[in-house]
């Protein structure tokens, strides 16, 4: 009964969803394209009888990249289909993985639509990154006896309370999942309270720690930095920023320029369609700036570079001396601080880091993460890092240490996946 109500509601919401996509398309035209994929029409776009991996948005896609690359390496005969729900996740997947995988949007969780999609892909194994619960998809996979594994699963206290409202329906649904690989024991306990069986759970650790700097990325970063800062000017990056944060960042940068006139800021809005708004803020402060897509090389007079593309953040972290990670000065919960940690640079974040509570706690305890709350504290902390080289290097090294100390989830997950894939090896 509950599944029927869910499906009926989802059908009724379709006009609102179309309107939402059309409105979002005003700022980003990508939202107005590929609608057929959202309804399971992907014939000719995917390779069949392999692995289907779903990463809902950009953050989950970034986390999934090392896993996808390793699966490609270990099981080259098995095609991989990567799905997303957002244009930013889609663009990143295509940019990083290219033609090594097939890529489409995951369709809406309507029974007929999802059945059409699964009949086209015919996956041998389905992997969903983190915790995406799609009732009709889960039910169809269970009926068709296709293994479903939730990888890098997490379940916050708040989400668990929300699921508890649906009681037996959620318990029955979760028991149809083959295996849930959770990030830690606390997440596991919350899943158990929802009705998941112990035999379905395994703790693998957090895949986000298993990122690394690819040699080709390191080489590109060295060349880019040499081209950008021929006079050894310092660079700081404000990444994945949201509305309400850029004003604070730009004001802090204006103050910093009085003390460090050669300082360069790279600002990368979380959603590239907001670059025009960021440009307007910078122009009001009369700062010399350029947009990354112009392919211009910053001159000594350039004070800000605006990143307006998806997929280059790791490259830009690699040329920066320190990084502010956005979504944290507002109640968004913060974005992944481990990407700058992989480059051994100090990390600054606001007080709202509930999306990465444990990671940020570990980084802060090790003095790899510095908390800022406003323009003044951001100015003071960046100023200290620029003035004290030993302190800056120490903070970066400690962030890198936390990242590397916690690696291992990828290998654990690959070991778990092997029995489901080894059957297809011969």
DSSP 112-170: HHHHHHHHHH--SEEEEES----HHHHHHHHHTT--EEEEEE---HHHHHHHHTTHHHH
CB 252 within 8 A of CB 338: no
Q: What is the pLDDT of residue 423?
A: 61
Name the more confident of 279 and 229: 279
Model pTM?
A: 0.87
Give residues with Cβ within 8 angstroms of 301, minimum separation 6.
288
Instruction: Grade residue 273 by pLDDT with cuts at 50, 70 and 90.
Output: confident
Q: What is the pLDDT of residue 81?
A: 97
Mean pLDDT within 37-41: 96
User: What digits encode the pLDDT tens for the residues 331-378?
Assistant: 999 999 999 999 999 999 999 999 999 999 999 999 999 999 999 999
CB 306 within 8 A of CB 275: yes
% residues pLDDT > 70 (the chain): 99
Two tokens at 281? 């803020």
Q: What is the pLDDT of residue 56?
A: 93
> Which one from 60, 132, 246, 273 is the annotated catalytic residue?
60
Mean pLDDT within 5-27: 92
Two tokens at 137? 């998809």
Four-CA torsion 343, 346, 350, 353, nearest 10 degrees:
50
What is the helix (H) or strand (E) element at residue 318, kind and residue range? helix 313-319
CB 391 within 8 A of CB 385: yes
Name the more confident of 378 and 23: 378
Q: What is the pLDDT of residue 165?
A: 87
User: What digits encode the pLDDT tens for the residues 282-308?
Assistant: 999 999 999 998 888 898 899 999 999
Q: Using alpha carbons, select from 48, 97, 41 the residue that is nearest to residue 69.
A: 97
Mean pLDDT within 7-28: 91
User: What digits encode the pLDDT tens for the residues 76-125?
Assistant: 999 999 999 999 899 889 988 989 999 999 999 999 999 999 999 999 99
Q: What is the pLDDT of residue 425?
A: 46
**Residue 405 clears pLDDT 70, i.e. is over it:** yes
Mean pLDDT, the chain, rounded, equals 93
CB 270 within 8 A of CB 326: yes
Strands 304-306, 80-84: parallel, antiparallel or unpaired by DSSP?
A: unpaired
Q: Using alpha carbons, select from 354, 344, 351 the residue that is nearest to residue 399.
A: 344
Q: Using alpha carbons, select from 311, 408, 401, 272 the residue that is nearest to residue 347.
A: 401
**Residue 424 clears pLDDT 60, i.e. is over it:** no
Query: Residues for the chain: how many in total?
Result: 426
- In the DSSP assignment, the letter for residue 48 is -
Residue 6: is it exposed, middle or buried by C-beta count within 10 angstroms (0-12/13-18/19+)? middle
CB 372 within 8 A of CB 350: yes
Two tokens at 21? 């996509």
Helix spans in 205-295 (H)? 215-228, 246-259, 275-284
Residue found under tokens 């974040």: 349
CB 204 within 8 A of CB 409: yes
What is the helix (H) or strand (E) element at residue 298, kind and residue range? none
Instruction: Grade residue 51 by pLDDT with cuts at 50, 70 and 90.
Output: very high
- Tell me the C-alpha distance between 421 and 395, whole Å: 41
| Helices (runs of H) and strands (runs of E) counted in the chain | 18, 14
> Where do the domains of the chain lie, and which CATH numbers do they carry?
33-205+408-422 (3.40.50.11720), 215-405 (3.40.50.2000)
Q: What is the pLDDT of residue 426?
A: 41
Residue found under tokens 């997929």: 311
Q: What is the pLDDT of residue 196?
A: 94
Mean pLDDT within 168-186: 95
Number of Cβ atoms within 10 Å of the Cβ of 392: 18
Active site residue 60: yes
User: What digits encode the pLDDT tens for the residues 202-257?
Assistant: 999 999 999 888 788 888 888 888 888 766 789 999 999 999 999 999 999 999 99
3-state secondary structure of 41: coil
């Amino acid at each position: 009964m509950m599944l029927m109500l869910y499906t009926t509601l989802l059908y009724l919401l379709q006009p609102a969803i179309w309107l939402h996509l059309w409105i979002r398309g005003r700022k980003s035209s990508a939202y107005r394209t590929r609608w057929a994929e959202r309804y399971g029409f992907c014939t000719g776009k995917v390779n069949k009888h392999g692995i289907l991996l779903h990463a809902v948005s950009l953050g989950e896609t970034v986390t999934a990249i090392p896993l996808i690359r390793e699966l490609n390496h270990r099981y080259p005969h098995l095609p991989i289909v990567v799905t997303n729900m957002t244009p930013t996740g889609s663009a990143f997947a295509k940019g990083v993985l290219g033609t090594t995988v097939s890529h489409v949007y995951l369709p809406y969780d309507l029974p007929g639509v999802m059945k059409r999609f699964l009949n086209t892909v015919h996956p041998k194994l389905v992997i969903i990154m983190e915790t995406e619960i799609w009732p009709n998809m889960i039910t169809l996979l269970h009926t068709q006896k296709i293994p479903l594994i939730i990888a890098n699963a997490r379940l916050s206290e708040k989400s668990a309370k929300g699921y508890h409202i649906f009681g037996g329906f959620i318990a029955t649904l979760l028991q149809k999942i083959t295996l849930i690989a959770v990030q830690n024991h606390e997440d596991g306990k919350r899943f158990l309270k929802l009705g998941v069986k112990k035999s379905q759970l395994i703790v693998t650790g957090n895949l986000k720690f298993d990122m690394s700097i690819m040699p080709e990325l390191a080489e590109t970063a060295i060349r880019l930095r040499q081209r950008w800062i021929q006079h050894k000017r310092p660079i700081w990056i404000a990444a994945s920023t949201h509305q309400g944060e850029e004003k604070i960042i730009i004001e802090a940068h204006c103050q910093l320029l009085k003390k460090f006139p050669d300082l360069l800021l790279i600002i990368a809005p979380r959603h590239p369609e907001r670059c025009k708004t960021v440009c307007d803020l910078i122009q009001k402060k009369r700062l010399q700036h350029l947009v990354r897509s112009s392919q211009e090389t910053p001159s000594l007079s350039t004070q800000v570079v605006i990143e307006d593309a998806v997929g280059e953040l790791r490259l830009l972290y690699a040329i920066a001396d320190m990084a502010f990670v956005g979504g944290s000065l507002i109640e968004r919960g913060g974005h992944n601080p481990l990407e700058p940690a992989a480059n051994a640079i100090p990390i600054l974040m606001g007080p709202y880091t509930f999306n990465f509570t444990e990671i940020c706690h570990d980084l802060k305890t090790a003095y790899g993460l510095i908390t800022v709350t406003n323009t003044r504290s951001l100015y003071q902390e960046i100023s200290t890092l620029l003035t004290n080289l030993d302190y800056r290097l120490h903070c970066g090294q400690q962030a890198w240490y936390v990242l590397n100390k916690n690696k291992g989830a990828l290998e654990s997950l690959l070991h778990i996946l092997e029995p489901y894939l080894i059957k297809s090896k011969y």
